[in-house]
Structure 1
Amino acid sequence: MTLRLAPAGLLAATLSLAACADLDPTTQRTMTGAAGGAAGGALIGAMAGNAGLGAAIGAAAGGTGGFVWDRHVQSRDRAFEQGVAAGRASPPR
């Protein structure tokens, strides 16, 4: 029985990753955070007695964390680009 489920699980994982190929970075980081949070929350919730509630809370926290991380990365990239532009605009020494 498990030998039949392994290819199906592998196919489902491959298709779900392929579906994320054309998403913008913000959506990718938010969804990655939500998925990781849901997995961690489900594990903690299973130990506490309610895996579904743990997964929901973990997904919300992980999605928020992924979104905040994306804003940080965008801010860092903007600062870098501003520095490059300022360096190009300054006269040579």
Structure 2
Amino acid sequence: MNTIRKNITLPVTAYETINDYAKKCGMSFSEFLRDTALKAIAKSEDLSLLEYINANCAYVDKNEQEEIEALNIDFDDLSGKELNLDELLQD
């Protein structure tokens, strides 16, 4: 396995907190940072669409919601056709 060495800058208190916790977990400082970062990335990438929307999108205001509801869209009707980009861009 190829490895790379990187330097990071932390406040002393942050280093001590992380290092103490890593020791409690039976891990080195580097191993703890690596594993924790990889878990955070995996968790972020595994968000479901709903979780992503809840985490990153604001709710619509009352007026906008009323406009959407006035369209009487049946969101359960999946009979439409999915378009690819070429079809969408055609005249």
TM-score by length of 2: 0.32
Structure whose alpha-carbon radius of gyration is higher: 2
TM-score (norm 1): 0.32
